[in-house]
Amino acid sequence: NAGVMQNPRHLVRRRGQEARLRCSPMKGHSHVYWYRQLPEEGLKFMVYLQKENIIDESGMPKERFSAEFPKEGPSILRIQQVVRGDSAAYFCASSRTGGGGYNEQFFGPGTRLTVL
């Protein structure tokens, strides 16, 4: 009965490299959300996905960031050409349902990205 899994837990990249963050939702959950927590800031929504579909990407930066949730396998948050300002903790959450009043999101342990 594993919870939301994220890997890697810590990721170090040099400026200009690519970062790939993975998220496996809880068993039975088909809705995935990505949030970013910058130092001294609250968590900010980035993107909401269902299997093979991006539902809401209103929180994603317009450039360099992309997300996918394929039919098979984990959800991937991809950051191209990373800059120091991308250093943050990236959290993934999942839920069983996506609509209605009862929609509890369960969070993973996060990936802490450091850009040198």
Partner 1 sequence: KQEVTQIPAALSVPEGENLVLNCSFTDSAIYNLQWFRQDPGKGLTSLLLIQSSQREQTSGRLNASLDKSSGRSTLYIAASQPGDSATYLCAVRGGSEKLVFGKGTKLTVNP
- Strands 106-107 vs 75-79: parallel, antiparallel or unpaired: unpaired
| Subset of residues 56 to 115 that bind partner 1, contact rule: CB under 8 A | 56, 58-59, 91, 93, 95, 98-110, 112
Q: Which lies closer to partner 1 via its Cβ, residue 5 or residue 17?
A: 5
- Using only the alpha carbons of the chain, give its radius of gyration: 14
| Subset of residues 19 to 38 that bind partner 1, contact rule: CB under 8 A | 31, 33, 35
Distances (CA, A) of 106 to 14, 45, 93: 31, 14, 5
Q: Which lies closer to partner 1 via its Cβ, residue 3 or residue 66?
A: 3
